[in-house]
Amino acid sequence: QTPGAASTPEEPDQLVFMAGYKPQANLPFVGVYVAQEKGFFAGQNLEVTIEHSAGQGQHLQMVSSGKVHITTQDAGILLRRRSDPGLPLVSIALIGQQGQQAFAALDTSGIHTPQDWEGKRVGYKGTPPPELFALIQAAGADLDKIELVNVGFDPRLLVEDRVDVYPVYKSNEPYILEQWGHPVRLWAPEDYGVPSLGLTYVTSDETLASHTDQLTRFLKAALQGIAYAEEHPDKAVDIVLQYTGPETDRDHMLFMLLEEIEDAHSDLTDEHGLGWQTREQWESLAQMLIEYEGMQQVDVEQVFTNALLEQAAGIK
């Protein structure tokens, strides 16, 4: 694990990557799958073990304790955890320049704007997200007239009329609902000027310091994987399907991949390359969390670094 180890070609460096959720076509996952299958990691003399989290925070515990070197996480959650209970998490690349959070209602529901939510049941998963409050306020709807319902993950509740508005990931549930014959209408925070960021590659302070070189090479290979996926989405989806179960709908994965590729690009990335992140992005997200969720102030400089991206750009 010393930097010198990299110079011995027969001894690849070991890294453990844990995807933040089940295997699917989230872009940061795809980058890793492709890098693995296409030999980009091997090309960087890395041997990467790929694990998957159930999405409930285990992966953050693992990264914090050093069992896992790198994982993926929503920028918003990363900020919250860094603030409380103080997990030493750092984003080394912001893949989702826009968040995937959105709110959906059935096309047939007669709900057209957030104002129409008044008098209706709006679902949330666990706790109402700050994006929801921010969106309602930005859209000028009256929160007091909206009934908030805790729903968990189950879009069937929308179809079965247990809720009127249901929280979704843009790249996921809308497809499923469409498949069931229930097209939906979406409201995303960014449409109302509410800051939102998507998935990042995350490591811990300690791993960042001890494995700088390995992580850089990892990032290089993963970005290469993402680039490959942008170019050959179909082949990338084939690779994804090697990681998912047979129950997976290929078109669903393709839909997800294309959605997320779109959201991975912004003016910033056009200028600096994929994954680039700025203080302003993080700061405005943090402000929203502080305002709508009472999050403790955090020093956003600790939360992200572009150093690895810069170095990665330098290596071949």
Partner 1 sequence: MKPHTPDSSARAALIIVLVFVLLWEGGVRLFSVPVYLLPAPSTILLTLAQNASMYAQATLLTVGEALAGLLLGVLAGVIIAVLLTLVPHIEAGVMSLAIMIKSTPLVAIAPLLTLWLGFGVLPKIIITALLTFFPVLVNVISGLQRVDGALLDLFRSWRASRWKLFLYLRLPSAVPYIFAALKISAPLAITGAVVAEWTGASGGLGRVMWLAYANLNLPYLFAPIVILAAIGISLYRLLAHAERRLVFWLPSSTVE
Residues at the site binding partner 1, with contacts judged by CB under 8 A? 21-24, 51-58, 60-62, 64-65, 67, 80-81, 84-87, 125-127, 149-157, 159-160, 162, 176, 180, 244-249, 252
Q: Please state the closest distance from residue 256 (CB atom) to partner 1, in A.
A: 11
Instruction: Kindly report the three-state secondary structure assignment for every residue of 12-52.
Output: CEEEEEEECCCCCCCHHHHHHHHHHHCCHHHHCCEEEEEEE
The residue type of 78 is: L
Closest to partner 1 by CB, 64 vs 224, is: 64
C-beta closer to partner 1: residue 213 or 260: 260
213 or 293, CB closer to partner 1? Answer: 293
Looking at the Cβ atoms of 174 and 275, the one nearer to partner 1 is 174
Whichever of 172 and 196 has its CB closer to partner 1, that residue is: 172
Largest separation between any pair of C-alpha atoms in the chain:
66
Residue in the structure block whose two tokens are 């930005």? 138
User: 3-class DSSP state for residue 214?
Assistant: helix
Please compute Rg for the chain using Cα positions: 20
Say how far apart CA 68 and CA 103 lie, in whole Å: 32
Nearest distance from C-beta of residue 250 to partner 1, angstroms:
12
Residue 180's SS3 state is coil
Tell me how far apart the alpha carbons of residues 15 and 211 are, in angstroms, rounded to a whole number. Answer: 9
Shortest reach from residue 154's CB to partner 1, in Å: 5
Residue labelled with tokens 């955890």: 81
The answer to whether the CB of 146 falls within 8 A of the CB of 187 is: no
Smallest gap from Cβ 242 to partner 1, in A, equals 13
Q: Minimum distance from CB of 182 to partner 1 (Å)?
A: 10
Total length of the chain: 316
Structure tokens at 108: 């047939």
Please say which residue, 86 or 193, places its beta carbon nearer to partner 1: 86
Q: What is the closest distance, in whole angstroms, from the C-beta atom of residue 247 to partner 1 in the complex?
A: 4
